[in-house]
Chain A
Amino acid sequence: MTSVPADAPALEMRGITKRFGATSALEGVDLVLRKGDVHALLGENGAGKSTLVKILSGALRPDRGEMRLAGRPYHPADPLHGRRSGVSMIYQELNLAPHLTVEENIMLGTEVHSGGFLKRRDVRKKIKDTLTFLHHPEIGLDVPVRQLSVGSRQIVEISRAIMDKARILVMDEPTSSLAREDTERLFEVIRKLKAEGVSIIYISHFLEEVREVADAYTVLRDGQNVGAGRMAEATLDAIIQLMVGQKIADLFPRVKGRAFGSPLIRDINTRLSTAEADPRGEPGAPAAVDHERGEVALSLNGLKGVRMAEAVSLDLHRGEILGLAGLVGAGRTETLRAVFGLDPRQSGWVEIGGVKALKLKPWQMIQRGFGLLSEDRQGEGLALARSLTDNITLSRFGPYRRWGFLSLKKRSRAALQWMGELKIKAQGSGQAVAGLSGGNQQKVALARLLHQDADVLLLDEPTRGIDVLSKAQIYDWMSRLAARGKGILFVSSYFPELLGVCDRIAVFFRGQVVDVRPAAGWSDESLMAAATTGKG
């Protein structure tokens, strides 16, 4: 490192071009990362961010273009080469072996014993120190990774990168599965890493966060550079404009007779609508809808599933969006799973439309008009190797069935219709879901619930890792569904969206519901306080 000029950027990518068959993923993209900078890589889903960082890591080779690491030419042959050159990735979909322990995962591929004198005790101490450095000393080294929460798994992955002595760290949606508190901790870690001269490429859809943590930014759209600069000199509006290329009138839906509870929401929506350039307004701009609260659609009475720490009682009305706030691991996902019959119930019961329902299995819940969107898109939410048609229609074959036989044409027509409604970008309804970007996969999962025409929707982190435009679309759909009299349980770790979308919000703390109030009765701060202290 001594022979190169000291002011050489940590990373320089020039004219990177990558094509897949007839589609061009990247077209002459530049990115310059200064040493010790947090550089936000921004863009919609499918803009080419993931492809660009895969090229950086060595997982893909560019068709054209050149890369320099600290002034030296860098042509990684594969991800291991990338890692050895000091480029570490923390992928959106975590790369850990579920059966191995935390220690084994962290040391995986780098189990160097340097002549045999590096003792396991030293390694363990180093890992412990790293975890402590990351404010997560509670993660046990001998725990199999599959037993950890998504948030903790991510910490393990970051630890691995730190142990690798990475000089460039790529974080792809690092906070999308983290609760607010964990996010704050992650930012502290990022600041520490910066201070030690590590440069970070930070991919995120949470723009407020990006503004908080990033020093510089590069915006991609459709595989091309559309803007770059220092964060301090840019406004959020300008960045959103660059990303979207078109305007969104409101991020959060307008609901009649509701004042937005949080100044933050009002702020976000006003910022977006002042960015409005087209005086006629965006055709997709959501009209105000009316949420009319009906009878109780679903009632949990002291329900406790095998994976829940405490029994939970809650009522969900028709025509209402009930948000479930809380930290990761507070018991929200487990509650949804117990309601849907995915986890066996230990005690308590569920009432559906006033009728007591005992021991229902998922297929029976679906018959009763329930639908669940899983937080674990790859593991449980979608059959990745199957087509969009299969995934969208799987929970309701009824309309295409005649004496057990399916009309494939009708089925793919229905799938195409929902793909159009949700603006899912794909080659066709026969394409395997695995080939879609994260946001489009999420839309497929939502399309399935819409196609199923569920009356009660259990949505677990439905907007995780997807772009602003798609988020606005999903919020809009939720609001419209509620206006049609459907009930929605909405689990989210992102307070602004809960405040912007929900009619009521319940806060979970350590497995218990500590408080339920109308959304207007909550603010960003009070949600945070309730979720972290358990006091409403």
Chain B
Amino acid sequence: MGYEVKLEIFEGPLDLLLHLIKKNEINIYDIPITLITEQYLSHIEMMKSLNLDVAGEYLVLAATLIHIKSKMLLPSPEENLEGEEYEADPRSELVMQLLEYEVFKEAATQLGQRPLLERDVFKRGSSAEEKNVDEGKDEIDVDLNVFDLVEAFYRIISTLDKTELMEIDMEKMSLTEKINEIMDRLAEKKKMTFAELLGGQLNKRMILYTFLAILELMRLRMIRVYQAGSFGVIRVALVMEK
């Protein structure tokens, strides 16, 4: 047997407070602060017990409520001063904020009820055009297999100066470092060609690491590699999180 928990979703502390005021059928200009503070705090307790994240803003308003409550308990110092105008109700600022929020909440509801494009009303050619804007127009994407990459690898190797190949590179470079470097550079540029990724580092070790890093990133589906036709430029792009 399971429990059915019905929870109201609140957009924030002001929303919760408005809900409590409505539920108790309270006059917003004369909020019984003790009652509301109690209910507000017990609501937060409930949210916590349900393991919901209670955002910091909820706690800020809780503190504000308690502050107002304590202020209302204290005799106002201004009462003793004669000729002084009535002192501000400690609740007034909060009431103002609530009223303002209420109007925007209504505005949001009204906006949502309008006939929305792509939800209620449609213009000509609604479907295809908007969804394909991100794709490059000049190139047809052809997904690459590993062999194409290997081929590209060899093509670059073969252009290397033979003497340079004889050098022993003692610099240690881990695959993880290379992967991170590629991700960093892609995060900045979004799309790069294989040649660009190699940069000027035309030694075998670097090319090898770059190549391995790309394979690993492809396996992890962090990047997409594609090519416009055979022998075309190989492009590496970051997979966008959706």
A, B in one complex: no
A residues touching B (Cβ–Cβ < 8 Å)?
none
B residues touching A (Cβ–Cβ < 8 Å)?
none
